Amino acid sequence: MLLAEGTSRGGIGGNVAADGGEFHMTTTGISSDSIPVHPMGVKPLGNRYFASGPTARQSLGLLTQLPDEMILQILEYFDIKTLKDVGFTCRFLYAFCHLDELWKALFLDDWTIEELNRRYSTVEFRAEAVDWPFSVYHEYMSNNEDESPLYLFDKGFAEKMNIHIGHGADAAYWPPECFGPDLFELLGEERPAHRWLIIGPKRSGSTFHKDPNATSAWNAVLEGSKYWIMFPPTTQVPGVYVSEDSSEVTSPLSIAEWLLEFHTEARKVPGCVEGVCKAGEILHVPSGWWHLVVNLEAGIALTQNFVPKSHLSDVLAFLRDKADQVTGFKSNIESPYDLFLERLKTDYPELLDDAFDELERRNLTKKRKWEEAIGKKSDDENGGSGGGGFSFGFGDESDEEIP
Ligand SMILES: O=C(O)CCC(=O)C(=O)O
Ligand SMILES: [Fe+2]
């Protein structure tokens, strides 16, 4: 194959730098040894000035003769497998074949509302309380004026659409790798519901909530655009009422009403994050963060909940201490906490130890703060500042845990 010619010279498995050969800064007398080597041998652009070896571009074989723009245009015609294969022939093409724009175009064409209606018109999807063939939902979403339109939110979409998710050759998509391993994968078939296809017209969306079981999530917009507004875990979001044990969240207003009534005030709350995600963009919802989402136009999204290492302690604490609020597990799983613990002990004992150390540290901090608070309270009662409401005012996560 023409492109494979680059492999022998291009550095796959070899030690040739991305911009070519050895780096000798002879003019300054600084040896290359003093500069840390990038794991892939990539050098900052400025270094190319001093590089004497061949450039990665020369690994392109006959393609060297084409300008970058033309190579990019050729890559636009490739399917997923070809793009992947070609990307592994040399470093230059690795970089080019991994351009977001190429991948977005490849996936987004398959995931449009019209395309789904063409392929799955008779397949039933769950939209809140009803299961409708996609053609019926399509008709509804194209013609409604509802203030809070019915939202298609289906956790069984992969089976219904007969698509595979993961790294196989026939995978329709795979979860982003940047979040590291998803520790709930240890639960296999016993993991709680964790991925959803989300489709809705303009104005549809999700009212304020935290994601279940202290999981984190990513949400990939495939068509349309979504407005997000998010707050850190301990925020008291204006217009959102949470019961003492956080088991019930009451947000009595529709999304539109909340936006009219509370948006201006909420945006001033410290820690508020907001923005719009467009097709081809992915948003990360960290464990415990409040979020409200509204579709600015009709669209499709895929979302998946996961447990990254960094939030293992939060998930363990949730499963252990808020067992009555744990959701999404099959009813035959008596103790999700015990099940997860067992799997972690076998597969990730060190992570488990670290997570418990972290919980212990938090517990001690909480205890110390509680004792300080008690002391402060007695001072007040003994003729301290007097008057006014009593507030712990720690402003961190431990506040909500204090009994
Ligand atoms: O796309 C949306 O409406 C947001 C979905 C969401 O927040 C969730 O699935 O937890
Ligand atoms: Fe969510």
List, for residues 175-193, the tens digit of each pLDDT value: 999 999 999 999 999 999 9
Using the mean position of ligand 1's atoms as its centre, give its distance from the Cα of residue 149 in Å.
15
Model confidence pTM above 0.85: no
Is the Cβ atom of 153 under 6 angstroms away from ligand 1? Answer: no
How far apart CA 38 and CA 35 sit, in angstroms, is 9
Helix%, strand%, coil% for the chain, nearest 5: 45, 20, 40
Residue 390 has pLDDT above 60, yes or no: no
Q: What is the DSSP letter of 279?
A: T
Using the mean position of ligand 1's atoms as its centre, give its distance from the Cα of residue 9 in Å.
47
Tokens of 103: 């991948």
Environment of ion ligand 2 (residues, CB < 5 A): 211
pLDDT of residue 323: 95
Is the Cβ atom of 293 under 6 angstroms away from ligand 1? Answer: yes
- The domains located in the chain, with CATH, are 5-98 (no CATH), 154-321 (2.60.120.650), 350-401 (no CATH)
Strand locations in 97-150 (E): 124-127, 130-133
Give the HSE-up count for residue 239: Cα atoms under 13 Å, Cβ half-sphere: 22
Is the Cβ atom of 206 under 6 angstroms away from ligand 1? Answer: yes
**Atom 5, ligand 1: which residue's CA is nearest?**
206
The mean-pLDDT minimum among 9-13, 96-100, 217-221 falls in 9-13
Using the mean position of ligand 2's atoms as its centre, give its distance from the Cα of residue 45 in Å.
41
How far apart CA 317 and CA 337 sit, in angstroms, is 9
Is the Cβ atom of 152 under 6 angstroms away from ligand 1? Answer: no
How far apart CA 103 and CA 322 sit, in angstroms, is 41
Is the Cβ atom of 259 under 6 angstroms away from ligand 1? Answer: no
pLDDT digits (tens, 9 = 90+) for 114-142: 999 999 999 999 999 999 999 999 999 99
pLDDT of residue 1: 29
Could you tell me which residue, 391 or 98, shows the higher pLDDT? 98
| Of 153, 158, 148, the residue nearest 132 (C-alpha) | 153
Q: Return the ligand number nearest the Cα of 228.
A: 1
**Atom 6, ligand 1: which residue's CA is nearest?**
206
pLDDT of residue 268: 98
- Residue 85: CB atoms within 10 A of its CB come to 15
pLDDT of residue 386: 39
Provide the residue type at 205 as one letter.
Answer: G
Query: Which residues, listed in sequence order, are joined to residue 305 by a DSSP beta bridge?
Result: 217
How far apart CA 139 and CA 62 sit, in angstroms, is 52
Could you tell me which residue, 371 or 395, shows the higher pLDDT? 371
Mean pLDDT of the chain: 84
| Of 70, 88, 67, 65, the residue nearest 12 (C-alpha) | 88
Is the Cβ atom of 301 under 6 angstroms away from ligand 1? Answer: yes
How far apart CA 284 and CA 269 sit, in angstroms, is 20
**Atom 9, ligand 1: which residue's CA is nearest?**
303
Using the mean position of ligand 1's atoms as its centre, give its distance from the Cα of residue 218 in Å.
9
pLDDT of residue 40: 66
The mean-pLDDT minimum among 57-66, 68-77, 291-300 falls in 57-66
